Amino acid sequence: MKAIEARDVVLSFGETPALRGASLSVSPGEMVAIMGPSGSGKSTLLHCLAGILVPDSGEIHFDGRRIDTLTEYDRSLLRRDQFGFVFQFGQLVPELTAEENVALPLLLGGTRRAAALKQARPWFERLGLAGMEQRRSGELSGGQAQRVALARGLVARPGVLFADEPTGALDTLTGEQVMDLLVESAREQGTTVVLVTHEARVAAYADRQVIVRDGRVNALVNA
């Protein structure tokens, strides 16, 4: 199990300050929900933790080592090998079948096709998607596509799963199903989860909730 931490992170987009000294430490196997109003810096913080954006100042640590000072290439390898991602709109590759989409992180990591597909398949049963393996994203409902995206995010057993509004495009019931599966699968694998959401109902699934306001992180009082 692996931990991730942001220390006093500052980042501006031109003149626009997005993060002004944001600190967040997530323990191994913990699931933290990042809440806060639109434009407060939630996604920027997630992108910094995930090594997608590099802070202007401050530090990011993953599994005991500093990662914001790595080269772009090394950060891309780190993302590929250690991080999983689920976004608001599943963002499946439309030309690929559902099982190829799930297998994608393994294929990108160099696993052979047959082995990657074999590793992807159990996820369909696990997430209630049996029989959907050969479908393309256009032939899946929003909830089904998001479950495929969840399987893709977890298949390579990442150290951290980053989920940015994973239920944002789903109705309430479908969103709850996706969150139930996300929590259950992450716990089973011991995956640390960083979840961005503006919905209290979704944040309630997490072990801990924090609020980002004006580019800083505050603990949620009365949680």
Q: How far apart are CA 54 and CA 28, in angstroms?
A: 22
- CB closer to ligand ADP out of 44 and 111: 44
Strands 216-219, 208-213: pairing kind: antiparallel
Site for ligand ADP in 33-72 (CB under 6 A): 36, 38-44
Per the document, the length of the chain is 223
Minimum distance of ligand ADP from residue 45's CB (angstroms)? 7
Residue 116 as a binder of ligand ADP (CB under 6 A): the answer is no
- CB closer to ligand ADP out of 127 and 193: 193
Please tell me the count of residues contacting ligand ADP according to CB under 6 A.
11
Closest Cα to residue 179, out of 160, 154, 204, 155?
A: 204
Minimum distance of ligand ADP from residue 160's CB (angstroms)? 18
Query: By CB under 6 A, which span of 32-40, 124-132, 166-174, 184-192 interacts with ligand ADP?
Result: 32-40
Site for ligand ADP in 12-31 (CB under 6 A): 13, 16, 18
Q: How far apart are CA 147 and CA 172, in angstroms?
A: 15
Q: How far apart are CA 183 and CA 218, in angstroms?
A: 23
State whether the Cα torsion 50-54-60-66 is positive or negative: positive
| Interacting residue ranges for ligand ADP, rule: CB under 6 A | 13, 16, 18, 36, 38-44
